[in-house]
Structure 1
Amino acid sequence: MGTGSWKGPGPKARHATGMIDPMPHLFSPLTIRGATIPNRVFVSPMCQYSSHDGFATDWHFVHLGTFAVGGAGLVIAEATAVQPNGRISPQDLGIWQDGHVDALARIAQFVHGQGSVAGIQLAHAGRKASCHRPWEGQGILPQDQGGWLDVVAPSAIPFSDTYPQPHALTSGGIAAIVAAFADAAARAWDAGFRVLEVHGAHGYLLHEFLSPISNLREDKYGGSFENRCRMTLEVVRAIRTRWPERAPLFVRLSATDWVEGGWDIEECVDLARRLAAEGVDLVDCSSGGNASHQRIPAAPGYQVPFASRIRRDAGVLTGAVGMITEANQADRIIAAEDADAVLLAREMLRDPRWAQHAAQALGHEVPWPAQYLRAAPARVPTRRSWTMDA
């Protein structure tokens, strides 16, 4: 189990002195391995479809830097492809070559300079690759518009009629992708990111292997639960050989496919337990994305029970996501120990300074940049650069 994993009893445990630890709250720090994240407000990875040949641009710098200026404890860069054919669209961010590092390093340095922690999500889109970026169309992107033919998946099953027909990966192809994740992790560290997240959710490649809906293989990567989990566990093991021991490792999982006969919460708890034993520190608990006929009962906080269940039954830190928009709502999730952090996406787009506004509403302090102190509430401290513990 990772050194940052929750092992119980919780933060309210009584010490020998008879004192009780303070109730955790949204703006209490969270220490995982050698990293202390200043608060529990995390920015979810959000694809921007704004790169060129995988290179980060000024858009990414401003997009991610704004959240750090706004006081978020952890800012996670979008799904970043470990192979060129693992991009959702030609405009996805990439980290499959050393040349990508410098532009990413500029972002990580700025985020840390604001007192936040810079993270990055590594991904392979699998059968959801070679598609239009959302505002330019849906589904298959023709080759003459930048699409590619080598779309891969566990089995030759397209996501839907409007998505590319994938090729089933060979064992050699699987090994190459596992190695690509490990190489990408080393580049992420070189770029200055200090939290790494593996994307195993939303119908992308690793999720495709986990789910019996998309994985019909008859070799050691298909069939049984153990076989369907094999590639995800291999990726985590490979990353841990290249990602420093003192640095936190997260995995995003879809807790359920929201369809009968698909991946479900029982299997997700089992996998989370195995991931923790391999050095994963936090499971980012989302859901869905692997079936075009899914029926999601979306409502405020509808995915929080997944984070609570996995935290309790797998004994690992969790992050809660999905329609978390209000300060009191987020604070209750942490105080009730349903999750150890909340991850916000759309709400951050609506209000990049959500963390500062939430802190003010809850009566806590989030340091502000010195340049903005004239607009800050009274007695707000200035921000210091973030560094990882030795």
Structure 2
Amino acid sequence: MKNLLFSPITIGNVNFKNRVFMSPMCQYSAQNGLVNQWHITHYLSRAIGGAGAIVIEATAVEPRGRITPFDLGLYNNEQKNAFLELINIIKKFSPDTKIGIQLAHAGRKGSKDKPWLGEKLLTKQENGYDTIAPSQIAFDENSSMPKQINKQELDFVKESFIKSAKMAKEAGFDFIELHMAHGYLLHEFLSPLSNQREDEYGGSLENRMRFPLEIAKFVREVVEIPLFVRISATDWAKDGWDLESSIEFSKQLKLLGVDLMDVSSGGLVPYAQIDSDFGYQTYFSYKIKHEADILVSAVGLIADAYQAEHILSSKQADIVVMGRALLSDPYWCLHAAKVLNVDIDWPQQYLRAKHI
């Protein structure tokens, strides 16, 4: 049987050695938005562990765009140079691993403490900051009341995404992913549960898609590397963003030159009723892949090599994005290849362990 998981794929102008990508997963370990030794160790180990691509965690395009004060950022040259160092180190030891970055803005879900410290709302004295959103609606009772973003601030956010995309290219990233999922700013514009504006950016589906589509359009115009978009295919909540809207949104993004849809779900409201199980989101990726006719990646409780291979062979997705499985095992790819009886390259320093 032909193996797909460890077969190459070309997306845009970039060739990927296999179809196992590391999902962007926040580490909440930065100071002043800067990459440090934790990030170098974290990402390098997954690269030498065989992942076809690494997607660097949600990286804020401006200070208010951070989820916590400990998020990575890409809005000044010091941060850009730190990313350049990270990429050079990864490429030195794993030159065929492609590296992308997820550019993000937290919107109304910002100014929180680290998850393991309770995600409490931070005051200004605790390095907290004001948040913005499409409408003045808080995420929950433990979140700040965001300021409704005005036209001038909309332009500022757009320029911030453009500036960060340019710096990502200058730092040497192979591709860019725009974060439009999980209840953060661009998802907040998409969903009628969080967007109750009465101007051209609210109301109809066309209007709610307008701002995220503008950002995708402008980023596409300034970088030629592959452009991915992560979406939440559904809010898992009544009267919220849904699969049908996601399919239409994906069609519009494809017209703008987006290369791949990274299909996740949820995150917009705390009362969502999520029916989660292994591979619980692959139905969404399958529908978007076939109805929008665009490359897609599947993510969400994918842990087993056979499961991952089945997702690809059954055409539910073109890429498998691994999250918690790679947190648990940096060398998941090396082990999965052995399970599937596929011979892939190992780091020379580890060859003595390849056949045990």
Q: Report the Cα distance in structure 1 between the residues aligned to 2:193 and 2:134, rounded to whole angstroms.
A: 11
Aligned partner of 1:334: which letter? L
Name the structure 2 match of 1:13.
Answer: none
Identity %: 45
SS of the aligned residue for 1:56 comes to coil
Q: Could you tell me which residue of structure 2 aligns to residue 253 of structure 1? A: 231
Aligned to 1:336: 314
Residue type at the aligned position of 2:218? A
2:159 matched residue in structure 1: 179
Give 1:274's match in structure 2, choosing from 252, 256, 274: 252
Is the counterpart of residue 126 in structure 1 residue 107 in structure 2?
Answer: yes
Structure-to-structure mapping, 1:210-229, within 5 angstroms: 210-229=190-209
Separation (CA, whole Å) in 1 of partners of 2:168 and 2:250: 23
Judged with a 3 Å threshold, the aligned counterparts in structure 2 of structure 1 residues 337 and 112 are, in CA distance, closer, same or farther, namely: farther
Corresponding position: 1:316 with 2:303: no
Post-superposition CA distance 1:110-166 (Å, at most 9, x none):
333302101110000000000011111223111111101x21000010000001110
Give the deviation of 1:179 after TM superposition: 1.0
Equivalent in 332, 351, 354 of residue 354 of structure 1 = 332
Match of 2:11 among 32, 56, 63: 32
Question: Which runs of 5 or more structure 2 residues have no equivalent in the other structure?
Answer: none
What corresponds to 2:86 in structure 1?
107
Query: Does the 8 Å contact 1:286/1:322 carry over to 2?
Result: yes
Paired residues for 1:73-152 under 5 Å: 73-113=52-92, 114=94, 115-148=96-129, 150-152=130-132
SS in 1 for 2:50: coil
> 3-state DSSP class of the match of 2:38?
helix
Q: Quote the RMSD (CA, aligned, Å).
A: 1.1
Matched residue SS, 1:241: helix
Deviation at 1:243, TM superposition (A): 1.1
In structure 2, what is the equivalent of residue 242 of structure 1?
222
Matches of 2:326 and 2:274, distance apart in 1? 22
Q: After TM superposition, what 4+ stretches of structure 1 lie above 6 angstroms from structure 2?
A: none
Task: Please state whether the residue corresponding to 2:230 is helix, strand or coil.
Answer: strand
Q: Which among 168, 177, 180 is matched to residue 197 of structure 1?
A: 177
Instruction: Tell me if the contact between 1:75 and 1:111 (Cα under 8 Å) persists in the aligned partners.
Output: no
- Partner-residue secondary structure (3-state), 2:296: strand
Structure 1 unaligned runs (5+)? Answer: 1-21, 379-390
Task: With the length of structure 2 as denominator, give the TM-score of the two structures.
Answer: 0.98
Q: How does 1:351-390 map to 2 (within 5 A)?
A: 351-377=329-355
Give the aligned length. 354
User: Which of 188, 191, 195 is residue 168 of structure 2 equivalent to?
Assistant: 188
Instruction: Show the counterpart of 1:386.
Output: none
Amino acid at match of 2:252: R
Normalising by structure 1, report the TM-score: 0.89
Q: Secondary structure at the match of 1:377?
A: coil
Q: CA deviation at 1:315?
A: 0.5
Q: Which amino acid aligns with 2:238?
A: E
1:19 maps to which residue? Answer: none
Structure 1, residues 39-61: CA drift from partner, whole Å, max 9, x if none?
A: 00000000000111111111111
Alignment of 1:162-173 (within 5 A): 162-173=142-153
Distance 2:37 2:82 in 1: 9
Rounded Cα–Cα distance in structure 1 between residues aligned with 2:134 and 2:53: 32
Between the aligned partners of 1:243 and 1:107, the Cα distance in structure 2 is 20
Query: Which residue matches 2:22?
Result: 43
Secondary structure of 1:240's counterpart equals helix
8 Å Cα contact 1:72-1:116 kept in structure 2 = yes
